[in-house]
Amino acid sequence: MSMHIALVGPIATADIGHLLDGETAHLPVGYYGAPLLVTLIAELLRRGHKVTVVTLSWNMALDWRKPVHAFGHNLEMIYVPMRRRAWQPNGWRLGRIVDLYAFERRGLQYVIEQAAPDVVHAHWSYEFAWAAQQTGLPTLVTCHDSPFVVARMYSRSRLTQSLYRWIRVGMAWYVLRRAPCVSAVSPYLQAEVQALCKHPVTVVPNPLPPSLFDKPGQPDRHPDPHSPLLAMVANGWDRRKNPEPALRAFAALRIRKPGARFSLYGSDFGPGERAEQWARQHGMADGMEFIGRVPYSRLLGELAAADILVHPALEETFGMTLAEAMAMGIPVVGGASSGAVPWVVGEGGVLTDVTSATSIELALLDLLDSPTRYRAAVFAAQARIRTHFTVDQVADAYEAIYCHLSGKMRHQERASVSVVASLDNRG
């Protein structure tokens, strides 16, 4: 049964442009950070659903009554303006966190109500979900992070950044306490957010793009023992991403394997950015290539050449980079106590203490110096992704929830009609 689904969340034009008609250069930039949502959108369209995508963009005139629309086959993309600054005034408007994203929520609510979908799927438990709830339409809220964990990770940051995160904890609490239908992207996150919710939280993982599974597996390959290529993807040089032990581990590894190379991707990891500055200050930059933030398609293409993905994050609620690397047969070195990392990785790599550079180095050597161990990890990585995280499996799970929500709403509407009819008959 085809449905009209409104998917509300952070979506960038650069990621969804291939699904839209014509040129996209004139469109707002959208909201960066979640290419995985486009994977889900494409699959819903393939299944015959009508999809309305609603996102925010900072490079628009600040008038929520003037959204920007773009179209594709069975697809409508709607951009709502977002204030650029969180604390400082935006013209005569307050910073967006000062009024709890009230301006943005009003615009989101307006366009969702105008679209009149059968069901709304809101991603992240903050402004997008709050606006969706304000419409009164049947809504699924999907959690992608733990508000309390994120706030605690930023507790040592500057005051405004820490306060910003704790205010968003309050927003998430307000949303989740009122949400009748909530999903989380891992069992770890399910346990983290369940206490905030009045109803049971369902686990539906993030989807992997089908193109990753088109790449032939290479179970017999083994990295060059003298010049392995490692890769790391991290957006931000902060406590939660925990990059320093990984860079120290690579510097130690390079003493044993002078030809080793380390490709570093993500914000703060570009040429001259914080990661390179730190590495050069500590005399550890040799063999490291600071690439920084790149388009998603380029990232996947270059990541495919890596022998091992190093993932030192202290906490992940899923870890898309982990799953993407594993789908391409790239083993992972990740944290044994890093949230959902052990659940995602399984036997597809080595789990270790990522706060210790020595432990990370030993985990890398465990894979690099044992062809048998490496091949087993390659096989296990691809097998785990194919049995747990394909877009077919994820879309099946979400469709079941959509049908339940829309069916429940139709039942309530029929009940309301019956009550009204009964009252009319009495009159």
DSSP 2-39: --EEEEES--BHHHHGGGSSS--TTS--B--S-HHHHH
How far is residue 34's CA from residue 350's CA, in Å, rounded to a whole number? 26
pLDDT for 221 equals 66
User: Is-contact 321 311, C-beta < 8 A?
Assistant: yes
pLDDT for 216 equals 53
How much is the pTM? 0.90
pLDDT for 297 equals 85
User: Is-contact 175 201, C-beta < 8 A?
Assistant: no
Residue 418 buriedness (CB in 10 A; 0-12 / 13-18 / 19+) = exposed
Q: Is 290 helix (H, G, I), strand (E, B) or coil?
A: strand
**Tens digits of pLDDT across the chain (427 residues):** 799 999 999 999 999 999 999 999 999 999 988 899 999 999 999 999 999 999 999 999 999 999 999 999 999 999 999 999 999 999 999 999 999 999 999 999 999 999 999 999 999 999 999 999 999 999 999 999 999 999 998 887 789 999 999 999 999 999 999 999 999 999 999 999 999 999 999 999 999 988 887 655 555 668 888 899 999 999 999 889 999 999 999 999 999 999 999 999 999 999 999 999 999 999 999 999 999 999 888 999 999 999 999 999 999 999 999 999 999 999 999 999 999 999 999 999 999 999 999 999 999 999 999 999 999 999 999 999 999 999 999 999 999 999 999 885 554 544 433 333 332 343 4
pLDDT for 414 equals 43
pLDDT for 336 equals 98
DSSP bridge pairs for 350: 333
pLDDT for 425 equals 40
Q: Where are the domains of the chain?
A: 4-207+393-417, 210-388
Q: Taking phi first (over 0 means left), then psi (-120 to 50 degrees means alpha), and beta for anything else, what does residue 178 get? A: alpha
| CATH code of domain 210-388 | 3.40.50.2000
How far is residue 245's CA from residue 247's CA, in Å, rounded to a whole number? 6
Q: Is 423 helix (H, G, I), strand (E, B) or coil?
A: helix
Contacts of 157 (CB under 8 A, 6+ apart): 238
Q: Which residue has the tokens 């951009």?
A: 79
Q: Which residue has the tokens 């709403």?
A: 409
Q: Which amino acid is at 170?
A: G
How far is residue 248's CA from residue 241's CA, in Å, rounded to a whole number? 14
Q: Same fold for the domain at 4-207+393-417 and the one at 210-388?
A: yes
How far is residue 236's CA from residue 247's CA, in Å, rounded to a whole number? 14
Q: Which amino acid is at 266?
A: G
pLDDT for 218 equals 56
Please provide the DSSP assignment of 103-155 as one string: HHHHHHHHHHHHH--SEEEEESTTHHHHHHHHTTS-EEEEE-S-HHHHHHHTT
pLDDT for 211 equals 85
Q: Which CATH class is domain 4-207+393-417?
A: alpha beta
User: How far does CA 218 lie from the centroid of its chain?
Assistant: 27
Contacts of 70 (CB under 8 A, 6+ apart): 20, 21, 24, 27, 76, 77, 79
How far is residue 10's CA from residue 122's CA, in Å, rounded to a whole number? 10
Residue 89 buriedness (CB in 10 A; 0-12 / 13-18 / 19+) = exposed
| Strand (E) or helix (H) holding 194 | helix 187-194
pLDDT for 410 equals 53
Q: Which residue has the tokens 């500055």?
A: 277
User: Is-contact 234 243, C-beta < 8 A?
Assistant: yes
